[in-house]
Amino acid sequence: MHIAHLTLTNVRSFRRLDLALEPGRHVIAGDNAQGKSNLLEAVQMLATARTLRGGTDLDVISWPAVEEDPLPVARLEAAVQTAQGKRTLEIAVIAQETPPGMRPTRASRRFRVNGVARRASDLIGQLRVVMFSADDLEIIAGAPAVRRRYLDITLSQFDGAYLRALQRYGRVLEQRNSLLRKLQERRGRPDELDFWDDELASTGALIAQRRADAIRALARDAAERYAELAPSEAEDLAICYVPRLPPAVAEAIREHDLADRLRATLVEERREDILRGVTRWGPHRDDVQFLIGGRHAGNSASRGQQRTAALALRLAEVELSTRRSGDAPVLLLDDILSELDPARRERILQVAYGVDQVLITTPDEDRPSREEMPDAVRYRLAEGILTRQ
Amino acid sequence: MSPIQRLVDAFHRLPGIGPKSAQRLAYHVLRAPVEEARDLAEALLHVKESIVLCARCQNVTDRSPCRICADTSRERTVICVVEEPLDVVAIDRTGGYRGLYHVLHGVVSPSDGIGPEDLKIEELLRRLRDVDTEVTEIIVATNPNLQGEATSMYLARLLRPLGLKVTRLARGLPAGADLEYADDVTLGRAMEYRQEV
Ligand SMILES: [Zn+2]
């Protein structure tokens, strides 16, 4: 698949960007703070329907638009070409209505697919991307929430059932936790939990099983890629799923009756959950372990090892996404080539030639060089204006 | 507070009215002839003063029992349980249903602080326990979303021990859709092919 056209209006540093793209490799060079990352993050948002980590919807809208326009709107549009045909995707981020003179503090998102208003879940997966960036280190070294977010974004792009279960799970969990707090105050009756436990168990079991499957595939491929990227390294990379389930239930994660077992856990643990006012078991508390040489990569591996592990994980993700959907994702390389040694850079570039389209940002016009990537279309980005070289 | 600001604030408190719309409405009233303003004010007051809840079905009505409950030509063996008064209008418009109704005035939603005790469930049970009751079937016509399903499940567990047949509107209503906006054909078919829960 590839992006045939990208239009950004009032998106971050872009007042207007209108870009026709062919398949192949595209290198966008620019000094820091010129909006290179914003460009790739906008593409990622069109794929995942999510705003950036730590950012709000309002942050997507360019500041001049927020300051000057009567109704500030950021618009992201892409035409995507796949084997099945062309589709258009659109996200509008609309600032909340405010009285004159007041700045908006919130914004909301509207989605369109082929011109028709849709929900976020209908947009997700229409364009699949794998983004490589310096932030990937956080997947290895950050909090468990970062790893869950990584899994959710990755799986949602090619597994519609996972995405639907995830969204339903989130809503059910919120309802169940509210009910637990109410029961904690001795209002209501515990059997009001029945429905929410059923729903949490059926959606939670699907999420846990799909995560287990995906992590098994990622672990296998990432271990191979890690060994290739660091041939001189004696230690190996292992990735394991740590589902937040009682051990006996976790052992049965591949069984078809996992939902029943999870439901039984939720019912057994009700008293304790009510006491704490929170649901303690289930995939919302899952984690993924990265082990290098058998030790936790997050706290005992070197920075270099962590970086290599993150790179190996992204490469494994490209393979998984391709295998699961029969079509390679668009690669987004956000300023990662300049810091890699030549051997690793070569490995990444090799992968870049195995997919339909790659968008690369770099502060250094020579990373990748014209020898490394002779056929690349090259652009220069300065002050929000993109110029083809 | 200035009179105009008081009006703007009053409009702003209405559901779906943002600050700018509230201003537009307020200035519209300001420019309109005094008869129009008086008409609006009287309509607002009248609805609050004359509308009551039907003692049987809890629907909004200007007299209790309401027209539907008082209509002797309607089937008395079946009650269709809905979330809101507007759902009664939507279902009755299809013409395919000739039984009675019960309006819950909401759905179970713990995160909004709404539990079964906040709905008109006790009033429904009272109707069913009445010695003269002829009801044998309850159709739960809550919306096909999470809260609607939670409410339907809760009611089914509560009502089945009373020996009643409890059914749910057939799928075919798009998930997440509001009954209020469903077209008559879809709604009629959902009613016809209702399933036991
Ligand atoms: Zn009535």
Residue B125 lies in a domain: yes
Same domain, B81 and B149: yes
Please, are residues A362 and A12 in contact by the beta-carbon 8 Å criterion?
A: no
Residue A165: which pLDDT band, with cuts at 50, 70 and 90?
very high
Same domain, B112 and B40: no
Residue B29 lies in a domain: yes
Contacts of B174 in chain A (CB under 8 A): none
Residue A84 is predicted with a pLDDT of 85
State how many domains chain B has: 2
Please tell me whether the overall predicted TM-score, pTM, comes out greater than 0.90 for this model: no
Same domain, B119 and B190: yes
Same domain, B132 and B168: yes
User: Smallest CA–CA separation between A229 and chain B, in Å?
Assistant: 47
The residue range of the domain holding B171 is 73-196
Segment A51-78 shows an average pLDDT of 86
Residue A307: which pLDDT band, with cuts at 50, 70 and 90?
very high
B111 CA → ligand 1 middle, Å: 30
What residue segments make up the domains of chain A, in order of their start?
1-128+329-389, 134-326
Query: Is B153 an interface residue toward A (CB < 8 Å)?
Result: yes
B146/A182 touch (CB, cutoff 8 Å), yes or no: no
Which CATH architecture group holds A134-326? Answer: Up-down Bundle (1.20)
Which residue in B has a C-alpha nearest to residue A70's C-alpha?
A: B20
Q: Which of B24, B108, B111, B151 to mutate to test the interface with A (most CBs of A within 10 A)?
A: B111
Same domain, B86 and B158: yes
pLDDT higher than 60, residue B127:
yes
Residue B192: which pLDDT band, with cuts at 50, 70 and 90?
confident
SS3 for chain B, per residue?
CCHHHHHHHHHHCCCCCCHHHHHHHHHHHHHCCHHHHHHHHHHHHHHHHHCEECCCCCCEECCCCCHHHHCCCCCCCEEEEECCHHHHHHHHHHCCCCCEEEECCCCCEHHHCECHHHCCHHHHHHHHHCCCCCCCEEEECCCCCHHHHHHHHHHHHHHHHHCCEEEECCECECCCCCHHHCCHHHHHHHHHCCEEC
Q: ipTM score here?
A: 0.80
CATH of the domain at B115: 3.40.1360.10
Same domain, B146 and B99: yes
Contacts of A198 in chain B (CB under 8 A): 153
Contacts of A99 in chain B (CB under 8 A): 19-20, 23
CATH hierarchy code of domain A1-128+329-389? 3.40.50.300
Query: Is B23 an interface residue toward A (CB < 8 Å)?
Result: yes
Same domain, B90 and B177: yes
Q: Which range (A95-99, A222-226, A286-290) has the least confidence?
A: A95-99
CATH of the domain at B31: 1.10.8.420
B157/A194 touch (CB, cutoff 8 Å), yes or no: yes
Same domain, B79 and B172: yes
Beta-carbon contacts of residue A282 (< 8 Å; ≥ 6 apart): A169, A173, A200, A204, A244, A245, A262, A266
Task: Write down the mean pLDDT value for chain A.
Answer: 93
Which residue in B has a C-alpha nearest to residue A180's C-alpha?
A: B110
Same domain, B46 and B77: no
